Structure 1
Amino acid sequence: MQKIEINSVDGAEILKQLNRHLNGELTQRWGEHILEFNNELGVGIVRTIAFDWGVSLVDYDVNFVEDTKIIFNIENANPVEFIFISEGKLEYINDSEERPLTFERYQNIIISTKKLSKETYVFPKAASVKVNFIYVLPNEYAKKKNNNLSYLSESLFSAFTEENKNSPYKHYGNFNLKIADQIKQLHDSHESGIVRTLSIEGQLNLILAMQMLEHSNYENGRALPESLSKEDIKKIHNLSGYIIDNISEPLSVSALATRVGLSPKKLQLGFKVLYSKSVNEYVRQLKLEIARDYIKNTNYSISEIVYNIGFKSRSYFSKIFFERYGILPTDYRKKIKA
């Protein structure tokens, strides 16, 4: 496992310290600092840009060859960190947690540590991780006209005051795909010069607002259509076992949603979070995988297999089997029996 120690929350300095280990190339354009690397340590791009009032972005799109610990030892700042993972996951360790935590894809996370504490983020090996860190320095942000910090919830407001020097703050919130969509727009920006800078700043403020809104709804027990709780995710995860056990039965979105007590829209969102597929795409893929196992490991006829996985049309089954595996079911059986 490689370890990288960072002692700054300044984005440009973070990239310099990362590059001492990653041996990449540092560039700067339109106020953005960019680190690119592609070597025996891995491949990736880390970008950063800072704005007035103590707001900055550090964006990672990386894939390391081995597990990589990035350890932050910050002595002179207590930023509030707004974290959102668009791809992959991270393990998180700090002085106030009894055991490591896993930050999941699409989960809304807001943290602020005690002063002089240490934070560790573990990037898993051979896995793509895309994660946004928006750092807000409370003392700087408080100087902003119309900062409206007093309208924050009491718990989040405490993270923006002197109290957070000795009391860590943490919010491990719901899973939210609207935030993911907004971050995708941030990544897809192709403007240049002042237009690009203004666009990034505007989108950054919008992402912050969305993360604060999710936090507020979470604390007040309000469930939004585009937000999923951990309990929702567990229900959907458990549903996969039911689908396998009942693969020959009709498995409509509405019937599955009723079974787990979620709306069809939330069920679809959950499948996108867990499997990056719609419900129907997931069920169809599972049917094909089970059918392939039947062909390989049983003497059932193709027609019997079609019936066992709940399809009515053999020709349709052959069509989607070919699209998935590049071979017809009958030819696949001949090939493995040869």
Structure 2
Amino acid sequence: MEFQHELIIPNEGLPFKIFLFEGGQGHYEREKHWHTSIEIFAVLKGRLTFFLNDEEYPLEAGELIIINSNEIHSIYAPEKNETVVLQIPLKQFEKYFTAQRFIRFTSAARLAKDKNTKAPDNRKLAFFIEELHKVYQAREEGWEYRTMALYYNVLYLMVKDYRETKAEQAEIQDSRRLDALSKITTYMREHYTEDLKLSDMAALFGYSDAYLSRMFKKYAKINFKAYLQEIRMSYAYRELSNTEKTISQIALDNGFANSRAFSGEFQKKYGILPSDFRQKLADNKRSKKCYT
């Protein structure tokens, strides 16, 4: 299977992740991948194309598509676009699971091919997602409350208007193929600061070391140790960017043995030392202040 698992970490202090699509400049292609989170792409300007299980779904401004948990998809953005992406952890919907951690949503983009089924009106959902991004970006006084109010409106509409109440057995079985690894990676994200070992994880989830190792290589296209390092680095990067913690403290707080180990991994991944990266951020902030 030629697809990769995508690691998704919510925005700091929030139960979800929201951002502008990284392919906004056009001429962008994202190969087949999957993730546990539910994902919504709301196109504000331009257009892009989704491929879900090799079926094509073109989207234009004003349209959106919902990507379900464990659903293999790829994206092609031929031209400039402005698209808001909202990623919601699967556990946010656990009260509405139909079976085996399974829940499925539809959208007008999917239903457009089925003339016998009435598609939900996307305007409300698109409005709340766009507003959610605006409020999060502006972060004016009281933004936390407004953000969560908009977010719960999104969850309400998804459960009320977009949730499919019947699940085909074949769909559930397909989802189970990736669900086992999803549970493991979720545990790793919740305990990444601890001393996690492949053997301990295998025992915890009832697998042999060799089987769990093969599972990571087959479905995540990465080995266990490298995946754990990715999680730690993602959180450490965020703290380096948004806090005044020392580099040594960031290293220890995020599961690295020491600051030297963290610095080496950071330079390997980003091509710059953590100290130089932080200095670059400080210089950029000073430059912006000079122009305001």
Q: TM-score, normalised by structure 2?
A: 0.39
- State the structure with bigger RCO (CA 8 A, min sep 6), 1 or 2: 2
Rg (Cα) greater in structure: 1
